[in-house]
Amino acid sequence: MRHARRLVVRRVTRLAAVGGLLCGGLMVTQAVATEPAATAPPPASTARTVAGPAPDLVARLGDDRTAGSWIDSAGRPVVAVTDDEAAAEVEAAGARAEQVRYSMADLDSATERLRSAPRVTGTSWAVAPASNEVVVRADSTVSAADWSRLTRTAEQIGASVRMERTEGTFTTRLDGGRPVFSASGRCSVGFDVTDGQGDFMLTAGHCGPVGSVWFTDTGGAGQIGRTITSEFPGADFSLVQYAEGQQDTASDVVAVGEGRGVRITSAADPAVGQRVFRSGSTTGLREGEVTGLDATVNYPEGTVTGLIETTVCAEPGDSGGPLFSEGVALGVTSGGNGDCASGGTTFFQPVTEALDALGVRLAGLPDDAGADPSEGGTAPSDTASQQAVPPGDARPGAVERMNAPGTVTTLLERLTDPRHVGPGLLVVAGSLVALAATRHIRTEQDRHRYRQQYSRNWG
């Protein structure tokens, strides 16, 4: 009876050891196979892929000879220029030139005049390069007297300013990613970021001041973290440090609803005319077009400048949610007017400015992403400018199934995670030790039985 029990124990131990050996081997081989090559990190930016050579041309020619750039419906970069010589240089670089009346210096002067005028809550303005003007919008809360005063200011500036009335109210979208809750209300997660030592959540600054504590539900359960930096008004971004035990929450995937996520591979500035996508905890995944850059919005809480203006809709609770396209992070949701039934204008804090100001980078990106190539950092491919994506063909990015940020959905995905190379080697080593031990024990037991039998027969 004792011998039968020992035999069962040995067999179970051997089977467990063999299973551990196979499991550990799978973890190591698959993790190594899926580890990205060290010589081919994700691109620091795909801005050139979208806008082509236009940004470089605008910078080189200067504000007196250009008036911004955009991409047309075919995906070709267009540069607004003020003279024939600049037009020839643009065409020679592979972009399309369009001669306009006002230079960027003229348009910037117009926006400065608007900023210096008495502040009117419920108004916004942004440069529209395709129409070569500054578009001023006033929502339904702006009184007739304020509208008349703004109109007089615009008339004094000249024909470079166009006035528009718009429906709804310009508000922050407080009340993504995933929903998160604090005493201030409900917001959405933007992007997970890191400083190389800790993990953080990037969201909108108006979502809550420094010290705000964030939870996974309205009942105060599941603490996520605490806001440690917040900029609003002026800018609109904040940094939430994950609470102890939440270190594995950070992910390079943003949720887009229905258990799906889009993997973020880089960060960049958008181009006017670009098709973009936004995710929020209230309205899910939505799309639209970039209509202006360096926009100014006069919210009831204060003025925010340097924003991205889009036609993407948003509603309360979408604040802080991510703006992206083709897997490239572009911004976090600030505010706007309208809703996703009637449409509207939504503004976003550029993610590149927030990352620079906070000294962090997107989770999953190399720590030198976006650095000057002359200093050893990675940069977009020189040929990327020849591969512009037509706006109609743009997609959110690589969509995959997900359960929650920072987690994988199946046992196989857990085993093949590149981070499991070390644990896999430990499993293999432990299994080999177990097999060797069971072999040694069996050999010793066989030797002992042989000696007993020899003593009985030949004593």
**With left for phi above 0 and alpha for psi between -120 and 50, is residue 185 left, alpha or beta?**
left
The bridge status of strand 328-336 relative to strand 171-172 is antiparallel
Q: Cβ distance 360 to 353 under 8 Å?
A: no
Give the DSSP H or E segment for 112: helix 104-116
206 catalytic per annotation = yes
CA dihedral sign, ordered 308, 309, 313, 317? positive
Tell me whether the omega of the peptide bond preceding residue 233 falls within 30 degrees of 0, making it cis.
yes
Q: Cβ distance 256 to 399 under 8 Å?
A: yes
The bridge status of strand 266-267 relative to strand 191-194 is unpaired
- Amino acid at residue number 364: G
139 catalytic per annotation = no
Q: How far apart are CA 146 and CA 214, in angstroms?
A: 39
Determine whether 450 is exposed, middle or buried from the number of CB atoms within 10 Å of its CB (0-12, 13-18, 19+): exposed
Q: Which of 124, 319, 325, 385 is catalytic?
A: 319
Q: Cβ distance 306 to 235 under 8 Å?
A: yes
Q: How far apart are CA 263 and CA 57, in angstroms?
A: 31
Q: Which of 236, 252, 269, 318 is catalytic?
A: 236
Is residue 407 classed as helix, strand or coil in its secondary structure? coil
Q: Which of 206, 252, 281, 318 is catalytic?
A: 206
What strands lie across the sheet with 260-263, from one edge to the other? Answer: 253-257, 260-263, 399-401
Q: Cβ distance 18 to 435 under 8 Å?
A: yes
The bridge status of strand 237-242 relative to strand 223-231 is antiparallel
The bridge status of strand 266-267 relative to strand 328-336 is parallel
Positions annotated as catalytic residues are 206, 236, 319
